[in-house]
């Protein structure tokens, strides 16, 4: 709020008044991002694949079940949206181009070194 002050005099007597006006702000833009969960079918498929891969490769899941869940859901989401389970731990400049190469490199080296 801003205060506007005005003063005047009537017959030598000063009169003062203060008026507050609301501060006008431009309307805010609100961005709402919808979060779409991967399909249950894809999550289950990626869970089974991950378990089988861990058995065959001698690797194991992270002790923190939340990390494992996020990785499996990320794989399933990429499977649903891109058609291939790209590693969710990596940054891709062009995900569709990576899918086109047909190379999937998960679990990544840093996860195997833990």
Count of residues making up the chain: 114
Domains of the chain, earliest start first: 40-113 (3.90.460.10)
User: Is the pTM above the cut of 0.95?
Assistant: no
| Residue labelled with tokens 């001698």 | 58
What the block records as the tokens of 91 is: 């940054």
The SS3 assignment for 16 reads: strand
Tell me the per-residue pLDDT of 23-69, one tens digit each, with 9 for 90 and over.
677 777 776 665 678 999 999 999 999 899 889 888 888 889 999 99
Residues serving a catalytic function are 89
| Residue labelled with tokens 């289950």 | 44
């Amino acid at each position: 709020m801003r205060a506007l002050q005005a003063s005047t005099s009537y017959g030598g007597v000063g009169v003062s008044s203060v008026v507050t006006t609301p501060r006008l702000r431009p309307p805010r833009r609100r961005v709402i991002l919808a979060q779409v969960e991967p399909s249950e079918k894809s999550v289950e498929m990626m869970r089974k694949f991950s378990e089988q891969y861990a058995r065959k490769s001698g690797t194991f899941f992270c002790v923190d079940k939340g990390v494992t869940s996020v990785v499996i859901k990320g794989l399933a989401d990429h499977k649903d949206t891109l058609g291939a389970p790209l590693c969710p731990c990596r940054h891709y400049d062009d995900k569709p181009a990576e899918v086109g190469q047909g190379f999937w490199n998960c679990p990544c080296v840093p996860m195997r070194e833990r």
